[in-house]
Amino acid sequence: MRIEAVDLFYLAMPAITTEADGSQDALLVRVAAGGHVAWGECEASPLVSIAAFVCPMSHGVCRPVGASVLGETLDGPADIARIAARVEYDSMDLLQAPHMFSGVEMALWDLLGKARGEPVWRLLGYDASHKKVPYASMLFGDTPVDTLRHARDARANGFGAAKFGWGPIGRGDARADAEHFVAAREGLGPDAVLLVDVGQIWGEDVEAAAARLPALEAAQATWLEEPFHSSALESYQALSRRSTKVRMAGGEGAHNFSMARHLIDYGGVGFIQIDTGRIGGIGPAKRVADYAVARGVTFVNHTFTSHLALSASLQPFAGLQDHRICEFPFAPKSLSLDITRNHLQRDANGEIAAPDAPGLGIDVDPQGLREYLVDVDIRVGGKLLYATPASL
């Protein structure tokens, strides 16, 4: 098969807020080859990512992503790896390239799976797609009372695990943050898994983060996610040595395998969280999963958008029976639900698994896309480089 077309669709809610909610917009990628059509999703600024696909070449290693993809042969996993390597080299100075190619790479796996009638996880070498325990992924409330209510909602919806992120944490003092941790634990009950994500709020400040450890330990939090910048490896390592009860988690900011490996080897994280929409797609995420297994670190997916992205995020560790916990967007914006016809449903035990269906097993709904489609064109020197596709 030859990659005949790559179409990009910029979707957005009617109003975008400063809320740390990645489901407010999306960039979907449609790839056509050999009579098959497949989809992927980028986890990045849609307009900037589109520009990375179509921008004029600046020099030999700052080329548009599209130049490495269109017209290429796609007959097996080795071709996906070959195209990825070309993008990595020819677009090494185009910093948005990994994010842009992530959506393309997802779609290539989806397409190959559809062509072969196999789920992506089987193409990755797994024999089975094991059940995962989804945690309800949500934001901290503005007040501890709000956080308590969110936690109770998660339990009422059958979740035995929940992650609270961002919100006011780190913007006040440690005592104020502790009130939120207590509220989250109270709302979840004594037996549920509590996870905390602070969105890099402390930069490299180990002492500020360490001041929250006693309250996190008292609340029996399993992990503290992204206390620092993704590259602040010394800070991660230092904090990881301050508590034996609360492990460090991170990795969603990894744009390549090496960044994830460094968090494991030098950052001391106990949980490595990889977003297939950022790291370059499913292939490099699988490589991280393999490395995590070898290092005794737990692999966890990162995703906060659609069920297309959720399915893609599950594929790299679908076959890892002992790596059980997975992120599950609990209350996303309507966009992330409306753009696909089907969703990953929890079973009677509250668990989910990567679909046992060709490709990613998720069907994009063209009608759902139309409601959120943003009309864009990009011109340089009067030449049209991109226009919102006319056909869905």
| 241-253 pLDDT per residue, tens | 999 899 999 999 9
Tell me, yes or no, whether 114 and 187 share the same domain. Answer: no
pTM: 0.95
Taking residues 270-276, what's their average pLDDT? 97
pLDDT at position 117 is 97
Q: Residue 219: which pLDDT band, with cuts at 50, 70 and 90?
A: very high
Whether 204 is covered by a domain: the verdict is: yes
243-263 b/e (C-beta count within 10 Å ≥ 16 → b):
beebbbbbbbbbbebebbbbb
Look-up of token digits 């790479």 = 105
Does the pLDDT at position 19 exceed 90?
Answer: no
The whole-angstrom separation of Cα 144 and Cα 150 is 10
Strand, coil or helix: what is 148?
helix
Taking residues 361-383, what's their average pLDDT? 94
Q: Residue 331: which pLDDT band, with cuts at 50, 70 and 90?
A: confident
Report angle CA 176, 165, 350 to the nearest 5 degrees: 125
Strand, coil or helix: what is 75?
coil
Tell me, yes or no, whether 132 and 66 share the same domain. Answer: no
Tell me, yes or no, whether 227 and 156 share the same domain. Answer: yes
Query: Percent of the chain having pLDDT more than 90?
Result: 93
Whether 15 is covered by a domain: the verdict is: yes
Domain span holding position 132: 123-338
Burial of 290 (0-12, 13-18, 19+ CB in 10 A): middle
Among residues 237, 217, 219, 218, which one has the least CA distance to residue 227? 237
334 and 12 Cβ atoms separated by less than 8 Å:
no
Which pLDDT tens digit goes with each residue over 220-249? 999 999 999 999 999 999 999 999 899 999
H or E element: which one contains 368?
Answer: helix 366-372
Does the pLDDT at position 20 exceed 80?
Answer: no
The residue with greater pLDDT, 330 or 271, is 271
pLDDT at position 285 is 98
Strands (E), the chain: 3-12, 25-33, 36-42, 133-139, 161-165, 193-197, 221-225, 247-250, 271-274, 298-301, 325-329, 377-380, 383-387
Tell me, yes or no, whether 179 and 312 share the same domain. Answer: yes
Q: Residue 23: which pLDDT band, with cuts at 50, 70 and 90?
A: confident
Name the amino acid, one letter, at 57.
M
Whether 343 is covered by a domain: the verdict is: no
The number of folded domains in the chain is 2
53 and 118 Cβ atoms separated by less than 8 Å:
no
Does the pLDDT at position 71 exceed 90?
Answer: yes
Tell me, yes or no, whether 70 and 175 share the same domain. Answer: no
Taking residues 49-77, what's their average pLDDT? 96
Tell me, yes or no, whether 80 and 168 share the same domain. Answer: no
Q: Residue 154: which pLDDT band, with cuts at 50, 70 and 90?
A: very high
Q: Residue 376: which pLDDT band, with cuts at 50, 70 and 90?
A: very high
> DSSP labels for 311-348?
HHHHGGGTT-TT--EEEEESS--HHHHHTBS------T
Look-up of token digits 């842009």 = 100
Tell me, yes or no, whether 214 and 96 share the same domain. Answer: no
Does the pLDDT at position 21 exceed 80?
Answer: no
Q: How far is CA 168 from CA 10, 22, 202, in A?
A: 30, 18, 13
pLDDT at position 330 is 79
Tell me, yes or no, whether 73 and 222 share the same domain. Answer: no
Whether 349 is covered by a domain: the verdict is: no
Look-up of token digits 């006693």 = 214
CATH number of the domain to which 192 belongs: 3.20.20.120
pLDDT at position 51 is 96
Does the pLDDT at position 327 exceed 90?
Answer: yes
> How many CB atoms within 10 Å of residue 350?
15
Residues near 15 by Cβ (< 8 Å), separated by ≥ 6? none
CATH number of the domain to which 108 belongs: 3.30.390.10
Residues near 385 by Cβ (< 8 Å), separated by ≥ 6? 54, 55, 56, 378, 379
198 and 223 Cβ atoms separated by less than 8 Å:
no
pLDDT at position 16 is 87
